Structure 1
Amino acid sequence: MPIKPQSQNGDIHVPTHVAIIMDGNGRWASARGLPRTEGHRQGAESVRAVIKAASRAGVEYLTLFGFSSENWKRPSGEVMDLMGLLRLYLRKELAELHKQGVRFRVIGERSRLAPDIQALIEAAENRTRDNVGLTLVLALSYGGRAEIANTARALAEKVQNGELLPSDIDENLFASSLETADIPDPDLLIRTSGEQRISNFLLWQTAYTEFVFTDTLWPDFRADEFEAALSAFRSRDRRYGAVGV
């Protein structure tokens, strides 16, 4: 597939798209003798800080891994708490996001979410659709393998219905059929808490993404840590399989 520009904002040192796996809320809370829910609440403060930092830096797309398809396996009480925090965030933060010119998007199997949450997501997307600032993409009930499988199934159905030939399917067509079709692939992926894996997140889209792993737990990840990750990105030589200059 064609390589997307490193940056569309005029500065090759600023990633156009940053994706973040927000990890460590539970460990942050446990280390302080607090319930896991408090870690998630403090994590929401980091979300606010990083959105502002990304906007100031000139990042155009910020994708946050909010809730994975595997997270449904967590204890029901924790899932309920997370969904409650999501409702609160969508209700409380929308006005501020809109004020900042942020465009809000959700990817993932939203049909698994409660109807009222689906309605809140739709309202947020509709209200911010014409904003021209940072695009905030929240991955909810999302899994990279499921996205790829769903895309393959949809293309297979088109072949079966005579809408496509098997020979029509290439990397470009496949990429344009993903949920992220109108979003550039991430230039930089950050994972907090010291873990060094991508946990089924944006598997197709991160083929040429630069990774930064930090030991900082997500509730402690603020603007300074975000800037440090951008600094690490600037030091990378992105060759996309070619020979460096």
Structure 2
Amino acid sequence: MDGNGRWAQQRSRPRTFGHRAGLRAVRKVVRAAANSGVGYLTLFAFSQENWKRPVTEVNLLIQLFVTVLRREISALHKNKVRIRFIGQHADFPTALLQQMQRAEALTRENTGLQLLVAVGYGGQWDIVQAAQRVVDRGQLLSIEGVQAELVTADAPAPDLLIRTGGESRISNFLLWQLAYTELYFCATLWPDFDEAAFAEALAWFAGRQRRFGCLPESA
């Protein structure tokens, strides 16, 4: 979800203004995903690298996160959305951790959209922690063994990655899981990404021929 800061700068507003606008885009996309029959949606909300941003911005992001969880969790639960948080959370404040735990507990049995929120997440960290778990059990490293220990072990590999904001990179997101994912990059800044933009990305994906390293069926 890239482009909040630039969106705000274009309007001569502080970056925090863009982050608040980005939350509105989150609501739209979660709703669009649920209405489109998407089973799993993973949002990259806060990377491990984001800790390097100015302290004031990091604190605001955390405050926004706590506020949004308190405000939105009832609506998500009502619509059968299950929410989970993936990443390394040891450095998060207690208030945020408590809200995350409550949200997960409340929605644990929901069978609608499975919403994974990546916070304090890094793809390299995910692979290393998974490999370490395998080694700690005294097992030889294997694709199957590492995959079973990833934070997304109980979720399917992503079909489609959408990155907004005009950058053409995946920025340490789900590095292992994206091995055969279709990558969709668009110039739209995240606060402007709405239901129509999401539908356009799905339409692009529908036109892709997924071969997973094999020859086309017509070959």
Same fold, judged at TM 0.5 (above): yes
Does the alignment pair 1:137 with 2:110? no
Q: 2:33 aligns with which of 47, 54, 73?
A: 54
Does the alignment pair 1:35 with 2:7? no
> Which residue number corresponds to residue 96 of structure 1?
75
Structure 1 range deviating more: 171-180 or 124-133: 171-180
Does the alignment pair 1:183 with 2:162? no
Report the residue type matching 2:188 in the other structure. T
* Alignment map for 1:92-241 (pairs within 5 Å): 92-159=71-138, 164=139, 166=140, 169-241=141-213
Normalised by the length of structure 2, the TM-score is 0.98
Per the alignment, in what secondary structure is the counterpart of residue 130 of structure 1? coil
Per the alignment, in what secondary structure is the counterpart of residue 90 of structure 2? helix
Q: Distance in 1 between matches of 2:137 and 2:31?
A: 42
> Which residue number corresponds to residue 54 of structure 2?
75
Offset at 1:158? 1.2
Once the two structures are superposed, residues 213-240 of structure 1 have per-residue CA deviations (whole angstroms, 9 ceiling, x without a partner) of: 0000000000000000000000100000
Check the 8 A contact 2:69/2:103 in 1, yes or no. yes
Report the residue type matching 1:236 in the other structure. R
Q: Distance in 2 between matches of 1:104 and 1:205?
A: 19
Unaligned 5+ segments in structure 2 are none
Offset at 1:155? 1.4
Offset at 1:173? 1.7
Offset at 1:115? 1.2
Check the 8 A contact 2:4/2:191 in 1, yes or no. yes
Normalised by the length of structure 1, the TM-score is 0.87
Q: Distance in 2 between matches of 1:172 and 1:230?
A: 30
- In angstroms, what is the RMSD of aligned CA positions? 0.7
Offset at 1:171? 1.1
The count of residues paired between Structure 1 and Structure 2 equals: 217
Does the alignment pair 1:244 with 2:213? no
Check the 8 A contact 2:44/2:119 in 1, yes or no. yes
Report the residue type matching 2:122 in the other structure. G
Q: Distance in 2 between matches of 1:89 and 1:109?
A: 20
Once the two structures are superposed, residues 5-32 of structure 1 have per-residue CA deviations (whole angstroms, 9 ceiling, x without a partner) of: xxxxxxxxxxxxxxxxx00000000000
Report the residue type matching 1:123 in the other structure. R
Offset at 1:134? 0.1
Q: Distance in 2 between matches of 1:107 and 1:136?
A: 10
Once the two structures are superposed, residues 153-207 of structure 1 have per-residue CA deviations (whole angstroms, 9 ceiling, x without a partner) of: 1211111xxxx3x2xx321121111111101010000000100000000000000
Q: Distance in 2 between matches of 1:170 and 1:75?
A: 39
Would you identify which runs of 4 or more consecutive aligned residues in structure 1 move more than 4 Å?
none
Check the 8 A contact 2:4/2:15 in 1, yes or no. yes
Unaligned 5+ segments in structure 1 are 1-21
Offset at 1:62? 0.3
